[in-house]
Chains A and B, each alone.
Chain A
Amino acid sequence: MPAAIILALTLIAVALSLPVAAVLGGLSLSLDAVFNDARLSATFGGFVWDKSVDFILVAIPLFILLGEIVLRSGLAEDMYRAVAKWLSWLPGGLMHANIGSSAIFAATSGSSVATAATIGTVAYPEIERRGYREPLFLGSIAAGGTLGILIPPSVPLIVYGVLTQTSIPELYLAGLIPGILLAAFFSLMVIGLCLINPDRDGERERPNLQLMLGALPQLAPPLVLFLGVVGSIYLGWATPTEAASIGVITALAFAAWRRRLTLSMLLAAFEGTIRTTAMIMLIVLAAMILNIVIGFLGVIQAIVALIGDLGLTPLQTIALIVVLYLVLGLFMETFSMLLTTVGIVFPIATGLGFDGVWLGILLILLMETALITPPIGLNLFVVQGIRTNGGSFHEVCVGALPFVLTMVAMIVFLIAVPDLALWLPRQFY
């Protein structure tokens, strides 16, 4: 009975917009006080310290800092314009540049919000200039941005790896093919929609080989960054954290070369980095504490037993998990969603024989979907935030809908063919 009351109070607290981390922390403290006489709480200090000095977590601020530098040095803008020259002759024009440059930016940064905000700021003025129908265009920015957490280096994959003790290099390899496929599916969706109704399209440019070749040098910095970071991991030169340091220093060099490396730029990058890192880490620490407490209380075993009693096949169980996440994703901020649930979902799924690496990619895909499903979808808010014409939020949601459907198709595809994620890691490990 006390458990039911505590659970109800937790849900109410979340709905009342109390900070997620504080709710999880409060939940851990009260569970421990009620069922354990607060014996576990006495160990939290040492526990939090031990977790916080973990070298693998240092990769989080470094990858965020890398994205901040790429963003603030103007590299991302140049990249967008270069990609636009290559892709804007397709039906759907610049929308492919939105998706394509998001995919490339994702390969240098681990954040979906930063990706959507960057690409969105550059792309937005083009809507009016080239006469695009706003909703689908905005949807392509929001959806493209979500690629940031699937294509390596991805911050949520690091957190997933740390929480479930899954190899991060393997997770990175596993995310690559689904990430590229998803970007391709987004583009196909845009082409299809624009062929059905050409009104959605804007003024198209003809392919101009000279311009295309001229734009190539602008694509070099992101390529160098991506190869430097990902390459050094797979050549066995560096751990993910060390690879992140290589990325940061390369990005600093590019910024300095472009004469954009100033003190105020650095300070702004620091603020952004620590703001995002601290925001993530408070929830991570709270979730880690909660996992200890509920692990101690046997909650996970109880839930696993409960699921066992339902008599579902493994496939039905995964389907149930996917549906639950899709529903949760409508309302929850994605990072909190992953962190609060992974401690329960991981043992259930791996217990049924599913691969931990594959599950990581599936959960990231579900997080991506949650980022663009209303009413709470972070990327929808970001895209709405860059609009200057005061259009309604509803339009952004409508524009994102085709991409939500694409993602759901991708999720089904990944469940049907687990090798989409698992084939590439197998070649290396």
Chain B
Amino acid sequence: MTRLYRLLYRLSRWSVWVCGFAILASTFLIFFEVLLRNVDRAVYVGSAEISGYVFAISITWGFAFCVFERAHVRIDVVYRFVGARVRLALDVLSLVALAVFAGALARRATDTLDETLLFQAVSTTPLQTPLWIPQALWAAGFIFFAGTCLFLILYILVLCLSGAPAREVFAAAGVEDEVASSAPKPPAARG
């Protein structure tokens, strides 16, 4: 199970790297289009459309990454004043809440993809992108997000029931000792 945890975490990180390169590539595409427009003449490259797809896909895959990195914003007015056991309970509850929302989004996203496939919808631009391609990747991100939440809940429960050392359980749930959990860790502090 720990192996699966590491595998999923790594998968999530890889997906973020791939999305990062995709964002960088769209940056160059956008830049190229601006340059052409201002130096020579307006040429339709479709950078706005493509970068929109890249953005939509990147954020859905980023949602799962935020779960692993504990980056989803939580208000810790109460959290900071309770003991580690209560924190663990709140962490699990948080994952459940995220799982419910993620599950609803994943279901609606899949419905949208279904419709697109049914009607073979294409974008109303010169590119005529078959919309199922970006939407499939987008919906998959939502499913991975929901799956990650469910897996983490299960993982923590299994660790608890198998009598794993408290420290290990807390680490898996991301129970924090000092740092305020509502604060996304500053990029500089992460090096």
Contact = CB atoms under 8 A, between A and B. Distances in A.
Report whether chain A binds chain B: yes
A378 interface: yes
Interface string A241-284: 11001101100000000000000001111111111111101110
Interface string B102-135: 0011011111100100000000000000000011
6 contacts: A53-B53, A114-B188, A237-B34, A275-B69, A286-B101, A376-B180
The majority secondary structure among interface residues of chain B is helix
Chain B interface size range: 35 or more
Nearest to A271: B16
Given A249-B28, A378-B182, A382-B186, A20 B105 contact: no
B73 A19 contact: yes
A121 B30 contact: no
Given A48-B108, A381-B180, A283 B73 contact: yes
B143 to A, nearest CB: 13
B178 to A, nearest CB: 9
A278 B63 contact: yes
Given A53-B52, A68-B187, A271 B13 contact: yes
B1 interface: no
Contacts, number: 253
The 5 tightest CB contacts between A and B, nearest first, are A270-B20, A278-B62, A117-B186, A45-B108, A53-B52
B109 A382 contact: no
Interface stretch (A55-63, A90-98, A215-223, A316-324): A55-63
A44 interface: yes
B23 interface: yes
B78 A274 contact: no
Q: Which of B109, B134, B135 counts the most A-chain CB atoms under 10 A from its CB?
A: B109
Contacts of B75: 14-15, 17, 20, 331-333, 336, 376
A68 B16 CA distance: 15
Contact of A62 (B21, B27, B90, B187): B27
Contacts of B85: none
Given A17-B182, A26-B97, 17 more contacts: A22-B72, A22-B94, A26-B100, A53-B52, A58-B48, A58-B52, A68-B187, A113-B187, A117-B188, A120-B188, A241-B51, A245-B30, A249-B31, A266-B24, A274-B59, A333-B182, A386-B189
A276 to B, nearest CB: 7
A336 B20 contact: no
A274 B34 contact: no
A270 B21 contact: yes
A13 B98 CA distance: 12
B19 interface: yes
A187 to B, nearest CB: 23
B77 interface: yes
A23 interface: yes
A249 B63 CA distance: 26
